[in-house]
A = this chain, B = another copy of it.
Amino acid sequence: MKPTRKSPARKKTPVKSGAPERPKRVRRNPERLIAAILNAAIEEFSNHGFSGARIDRISKRANTVDRMLYYYFGNKERLYEAVLEEVYRNLIEEQRQFVPPEGDPVNGMDELITHMWEHYMNHPEFIRLVMSENLLYGRYIRQSEHIKQVSFPLVRIIDEILKSGKKKNIFRPDADTNFILMTIMSMGFFYVSNQYTYTYWLSKELTPNLRSDAWLGHMKTVIFDHLMVR
Which A residues have a C-beta under 8 Å from some C-beta of B?
Answer: 1-10, 13-19, 30-31, 34-35, 38-39, 42-43, 46-52, 70-79, 82, 86-87, 89-90, 93, 122-126, 128, 130-138, 141-143, 147-148, 152, 154-155, 159, 176-179, 181-183, 185-187, 189-191, 193-198, 200-203, 206-207, 209-210, 215, 218, 221-223, 225-226, 230
Contacts and interface: CB of A to CB of B under 8 A. Distances in A.
Given A6-B35, A51-B4, A190-B186, A15 B177 contact: no
A17 B81 CA distance: 14
| Chain A at the B interface: SS class | helix
A103 B142 CA distance: 49
A194 B193 CA distance: 11
Nearest to A18: B71
Contacts of A71: 18-19
Contacts of A136: 196
Contacts of A90: 4-5, 7
Contacts of A122: 2
A159 B18 contact: no
A89 B1 CA distance: 18
A125 B46 contact: no
Given A70-B18, A89-B7, A181-B201, A124 B1 contact: yes
Given A4-B87, A135-B131, A230-B230, A202 B181 contact: yes
